[in-house]
Structures are given as structure tokens and as C-alpha cells.
Amino acid sequence: MTSAPLPDAGANWVDRHAPERLKPWLKLGRFDRPIGIWLLLLPGWQGIALALAQYRQAPGLYDLWLFVGFGIGACLMRAAGCAFNDIVDRDFDARVSRTALRPIPAGLISVKQAWAFVIGCSLISLMILLTLPKVAILLGVGSCALVAAYPFMKRITWWPQAWLGLTFNWGALMGFASALPLAAAALLLPADIAGEFRPFLWSPPSDSGHAVALVWQAYVPAVLLYLGGVFWTLGYDTVYALQDIEDDAMIGVKSSARRLASAVRPGVAVFYGISLVLAALAGLSAGLGPLFWIGLALYAAHLARQVVRLDRTDGALALRLFKSNREAGFILLAAFALGSLGQNLIGL
């Protein structure tokens, strides 16, 4: 049996150029649909950029490795996560038209083979993870619980898209922790670094030590970025779920698109609006310059355009709007980079 093009993959390099024997494996890891790689990777790059901007640092060789390493890791971990999801959902996938031709339900790859694929991708990702600071390593290990629980969320909650947000944006925390000066990540803060931290809306507990207090303040932008990303994902994955709303209702799978029903457009507008506010607070708490706000305005315009165009009855349009979030993520990434650049220019 040959590997047929999947309904939501569109024109892609796997179907056009990959050897026939590799196609099922590449499709198991969703390499025929790279949008998921971008949506997993961009929060990590944003976290790196935000940390560098907060410290007014130009990227060094290690920071450049972070961008490359996070890129490779995102490809592998997204592949492992998709394969695990397909193992868990193989019975559901066989009953949904959009997913019935995936390699496992189509009989192209066995469950044992899929598990070997998950383990292989995870081990390579682990080697990359071990090049990061200790805080980032601990965060990476902690993300495994989120990844493992995600496939089961659609069975127990109307909001599995929110859990996906918690999972997909974890890289924002990891990226920030990786690019933060290593002394700060280890709670060892010399006096000349301490002045670079800016308190924002919260104060640390009164009994905290000096170093813990400074790290508390340092990580506020990262937490705000992470939470903003969660709502961003909740919005765009609700849009994505519109494609399956009828099949999901038939087989009893829950989703935010089904829960919101006719209110899906205002719901997505609220999710994107919260995401925008939290991204703004992340930039503000990091002390970014005026160019950040120009980039943020473009990010807001992109999200608003999605909401205006959204039609809950048009699955093809929903897929296009969902995919456009790659550009939205790049705009926010550029906003953080511009914010640092603008502040540096002001200081000259």
C-alpha cells in the first residue's frame, strides 16, 4: 500500500519528493505539514529574543546555537508528540475522514514501529536538551507531563486546545531560561547584573533572599509571554478545530470549537485579545523600546484580520487562517528584536 496525500496537508515536499518508503514515517511526524513545527518553535525563539532584549544583548555564538538547537528540537519533539498522539487516537482517527489515511490507521506503520519512532526522536532531543543550562533542562523534563496528557484532554474536557496552549508554548519559558545570563539562571547574581532587572507588577515574597527576588523579577516577562502564548494557541487551535466539528460531534470528541458553537468568532476574538495584552505586558516588563510597540501593532492587526475573516462553516478558510499564525508568530518575534534595537539606539 502506498502513502496517499493527506487531506489537510496541501502541496508539500514529502508527497512530491520523498522516497516512497520514507513517506509514511515523515507523515507520522507531520513533516508534510510543517506549520506545527513553526507553531511549536516560535514561542521558544520568542523567549530567547525576549531575554536578549531584556538584557540589551546582541546574540553571541551560544545564542545562535540556541536558535539552531531549538529548531532541531522543535522538529523532533513535534514529530514525537504527533506520533504519540496518533498511537493514542488511532481508533478515533480511523473514524474521521480527515485523519483516516494517517499512517497508523491506514496500516502503513504498526503501533510498535510508531513507539520506536517516538523513542528515537525523544533521545535525539534529549541530547540537544543537555546542552542547555540546568533551569532549561528541568523545564524540558517537566514538559513531558504536558505532552503525555494532551491526547487524552479531548476525552475529558471541552478545552483541549487550552492544554495544547500550555504544551506548545512551554518553549517560551525554556528559551528565556536558556538565553538568560547563566549566573541569573543559577541564582548567582553579581551586583553589576542586579541593576539590569526591573520590578514590574508584582513583588517577590517578603522573606525571599536577594538572589531569589531578582530572579523572580527577571522571569516576569517570560511568564507573561508564556501565558500570552497559551491564549494565542487557544485561539488558533479553535480555528483549526472548525474543520472537524461535524466528525467530532459524531464520535463524541470534545473541542473548544464545539463548545463555543455559534459564538466561535467572539470567542477567538477574546482569546487573541488576551494574548495581545499579555504580550504587551511582557514587552513592557522587559523595558523594550518604542519599536516594540510598532511590531506589536502589526501583530494585533494580523490577529484582528483573522477574526474578521473567520467563518465557522468554511473549513478550508479555517485551515488557511490557522496556517497564517506562522506569520503572526514571526511578527511578534520581530517585535521583541525591534524593541531591543530601538532601546539600544536611544541609549547611543
Measured between alpha carbons, how far is 108 from 95 in angstroms, rounded to an integer? 17
The pLDDT, as a whole number, for residue 41 is 97
Number of residues that this document lists for the chain: 348
* Cα distance between residue 324 and residue 306, in whole Å: 8
pLDDT (tens, 9 = 90+) of the chain, 348 residues, equals: 567 677 666 778 888 889 999 999 999 999 998 999 999 999 999 999 999 888 777 677 888 899 999 999 999 999 999 999 999 988 888 887 778 888 999 899 999 999 999 999 999 999 999 999 888 899 999 998 998 898 889 888 999 999 999 999 999 999 999 987 643 443 344 433 433 433 333 444 444 455 555 566 678 999 999 999 999 999 999 999 998 888 778 778 888 999 998 899 999 999 999 999 999 999 999 889 899 999 999 999 999 999 999 999 998 999 999 999 999 999 999 999 988 775 555 544
Region class of 261: left (phi > 0), else alpha (psi between -120 and 50), else beta = left
- 169: region left, alpha or beta (phi > 0 left; psi from -120 to 50 alpha): alpha
The pLDDT of residue 201 is: 37
Burial tier of 64 (Cβ tally within 10 Å: 0-12, 13-18, 19+)? exposed
- pLDDT at position 151 is 84
What's at 52, amino acid-wise?
Answer: L
Could you tell me the pTM of the whole model? 0.86
| Helical segments of 242-324, H only | 245-251, 256-260, 264-285, 290-309, 315-323
Judge contact between 194 and 64, C-beta under 8 A. Answer: no
Burial class (CB in 10 A: 0-12, 13-18, 19+), 141: exposed
3-state secondary structure at position 182: helix
Model pLDDT, residue 169:
97
